[in-house]
Amino acid sequence: MSLFISTAHAAGVPSPAGGGMEMIIMLAVFGLVFFFMIYRPQAKRVKEHKSLMSALTKGDEVLTQGGIVGKIAKVSDEKEFLVISISEGTEVTVQKGAISAVLPKGTMKSL
Longest dimension (CA), the chain: 93
Count of C-beta atoms within a 10 Å radius of residue 24: 10
Sign of CA dihedral 95, 96, 98, 103: positive
pLDDT tens string 1-18? 566 666 666 556 565 666
- For the segment 62-111, what is each residue's pLDDT rounded down to a tens digit? 999 999 999 999 998 778 899 999 988 999 999 988 999 999 988 888 87
Q: Is the pTM of this model over 0.85?
A: no
- Domain boundaries along the sequence of the chain: 56-110
Does the domain at residues 56-110 carry the CATH identifier 1.20.1410?
no
Show the CA angle centred on residue 40, arms to residues 95 and 79, nearest 5°. 15
